[in-house]
Amino acid sequence: MLSSLQAPMERTCPRCQSTQISKNGFRGKKQNYRCRECRRQFIDNPQSHRGYSDDVRESCLKMYLNGLGFRAIERVTGVHHTTVGLWVKQADAHLQEQSVSTEDKSIAPFPEVGELDELHTFVGSKKQEMALDRR
């Protein structure tokens, strides 16, 4: 579960935001990295400067598209509603161009943080509805 969340994530330097990152051994159990641009060393901890993984953000956006309010999404995912609002704003331009073509991608596996039965039930039933609408 965890590895599937972390593997595809692009790492950026916490100082200069460069993606030119090379691995630099381990510090304790954590992967240590070094930025090739500014040579800053940092430990693998994308949560600290990225907030949430792309998977979590995508799931929140899908819930928003399915009609959930920001506060409902916060209850289900634990992501603060202002963060969700920000993501929606950021994604808005994209969504208008692409007219929601992401629906056929299956929902990414979700970290188990409780209250997920509600989420699975909701997303599952909504997905069926939308699939029917679309044909």
Interface residues toward Zn ion, by CB under 5 A: 13, 15-16, 18, 35, 37-38, 40
Q: Looking at beta carbons only, is 38 or 113 nearer to Zn ion?
A: 38
CB 57 within 8 A of CB 94: no
Q: Looking at beta carbons only, is 40 or 81 nearer to Zn ion?
A: 40
Q: Which two tokens stand for residue 71?
A: 């506060």
Q: Looking at beta carbons only, is 13 or 73 nearer to Zn ion?
A: 13
- Looking up tokens 């030119």, which residue turns up? 20
d(CA 135, CA 130) in angstroms, rounded, equals 9
Nearest distance from residue 49's CB to Zn ion, in Å?
Answer: 12
Nearest distance from residue 25's CB to Zn ion, in Å?
Answer: 18
Nearest distance from residue 42's CB to Zn ion, in Å?
Answer: 9
What is the DSSP secondary-structure string of 2-25?
HHHHHTTPPP--TTT----EEEEE
